[in-house]
């Protein structure tokens, strides 16, 4: 096999010249002696000192899931493979089409992404009042809980027992940026606490965080302690409808429950001070994302003898075919 022989003291500059001349062979290992470095060469070119030596194949980590599966999965299966996945700490959560070899795919993720220690397969949609999506561990360590980090906050998430989406990260930051120091906030539908944690980390405020799922509630308590936000976030286990009347009227109300938010508009609006802001979420059709939600907001406010003023509307993320999650910020008098 062909190598370029380079004196050790100038080896790096010769390697760069080989790269520039496009003769460096990345598939074989670089060899060394006391005085020289031997770079594998794909072909000859003028200006280099070539020698013949025995070569060792270099084992290169695949750079993507697709690359890790090339040659292992049939081309037709590679074409339908969903190669994007959510990462929650050192856990990857991926959708695996029916009929594909899940262990093969899980192990390929471990091989191509060294920071991932566990791969979970999505077991269906988010269902039930807790919006939990069952998962199955298909490769790596047998666990479903990990510590996830965003915007300077650490939080423990159990992907099998609570709702959590890393895809709402920028939405959390968007809300945190709007908070004025000293605000009192109703952090309803809190889950493991991502909205309250990010807000309280960025702004001095008091957040009443309410969550119905006992597993999510316990993790939220752990996360509040982990981020040293005891006293700033006050967690309550229970139903927003029952708890809302007992918390002080707030400057801001968070409603991150797009599937069921509509039926909670009245108790959530009631939790806002006059002039308070409500952040409302819905899943809405792409052809008309806002008008249905705005009608529902206005009707709910009116039924309480209040008036809603729409401040902002935006598409947060795609949800399913022609359906997106939208956010509507409104104030109430």
Q: List interacting residues with ligand SAM (CB under 6 A).
A: 129-131, 163-165, 168, 189-191, 194-195, 210-213, 216, 239-241, 256-257
Nearest to 2 by CA among 52, 56, 55: 52
Closest approach, Cβ 277 to ligand SAM, in A, equals 17
Q: Which helix (H) or strand (E) holds 137?
A: strand 135-140
Question: In 3-state terms, what secondary structure has residue 177?
Answer: helix
Question: In 3-state terms, what secondary structure has residue 188?
Answer: coil
Closest approach, Cβ 84 to ligand SAM, in A, equals 19
Q: Which is nearer to ligand SAM, 121 or 161 (CB)?
A: 161
Question: In 3-state terms, what secondary structure has residue 78?
Answer: helix
Nearest to 7 by CA among 43, 33, 45, 44: 33
Q: Which is nearer to ligand SAM, 163 or 330 (CB)?
A: 163
Q: Which is nearer to ligand SAM, 89 or 256 (CB)?
A: 256
Closest approach, Cβ 237 to ligand SAM, in A, equals 9
Eight-class DSSP state of 89: T
Question: Beta strands 145-150 and 135-140: pairing type?
Answer: unpaired
Q: Which is nearer to ligand SAM, 85 or 217 (CB)?
A: 217
Q: CB neighbours (10 Å) of residue 178?
A: 15
Q: Which is nearer to ligand SAM, 6 or 168 (CB)?
A: 168
Residue nearest to ligand SAM (CB): 191
Question: Beta strands 118-122 and 36-40: pairing type?
Answer: unpaired
Closest approach, Cβ 192 to ligand SAM, in A, equals 6
Closest approach, Cβ 274 to ligand SAM, in A, equals 24
């Amino acid at each position: 096999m062909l190598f370029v022989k380079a004196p050790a003291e100038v080896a790096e500059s010769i390697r760069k010249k080989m790269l520039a001349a496009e003769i460096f062979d990345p598939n074989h290992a670089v060899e060394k002696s006391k005085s020289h470095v031997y770079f594998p060469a794909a072909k000859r070119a003028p200006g280099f000192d070539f020698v013949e030596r025995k070569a060792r194949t270099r084992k290169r980590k695949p750079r993507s899931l697709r690359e890790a599966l090339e040659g292992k999965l049939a081309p037709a299966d590679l074409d339908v493979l969903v190669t994007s996945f959510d990462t929650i700490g050192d856990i990857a959560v991926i959708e695996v089409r029916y009929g594909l070899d899940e262990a093969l795919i899980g192990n390929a993720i471990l091989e191509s992404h060294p920071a991932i220690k566990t791969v979970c397969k999505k077991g269906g949609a988010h269902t039930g009042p807790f919006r939990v999506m069952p998962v199955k561990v298909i490769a790596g360590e047998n666990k479903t809980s990990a510590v996830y980090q965003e915007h300077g906050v650490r939080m423990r998430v159990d992907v099998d027992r609570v709702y959590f989406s890393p895809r709402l990260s920028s939405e959390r930051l968007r809300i945190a940026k709007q908070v004025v120091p000293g605000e009192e906030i109703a952090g309803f539908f809190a889950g493991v606490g991502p909205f309250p944690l990010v807000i309280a980390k960025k702004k001095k405020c008091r957040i009443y965080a309410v969550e119905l799922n006992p597993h999510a509630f316990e993790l939220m308590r752990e996360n509040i302690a982990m981020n040293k936000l005891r006293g700033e976030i006050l967690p309550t286990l229970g139903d927003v409808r029952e708890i809302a009347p007992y918390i002080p009227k707030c400057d801001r109300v968070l409603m991150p429950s797009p599937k069921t938010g509509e039926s909670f508009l009245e108790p959530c609006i009631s939790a806002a001070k006059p002039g308070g802001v409500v952040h409302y979420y819905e899943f809405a059709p792409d052809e008309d994302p806002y008008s249905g939600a705005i009608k529902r907001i206005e009707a709910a406010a009116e039924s309480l003898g209040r008036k809603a003023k729409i401040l902002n509307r935006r598409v947060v993320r795609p949800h399913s075919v022609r359906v997106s999650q939208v956010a509507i910020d409104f104030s109430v008098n």
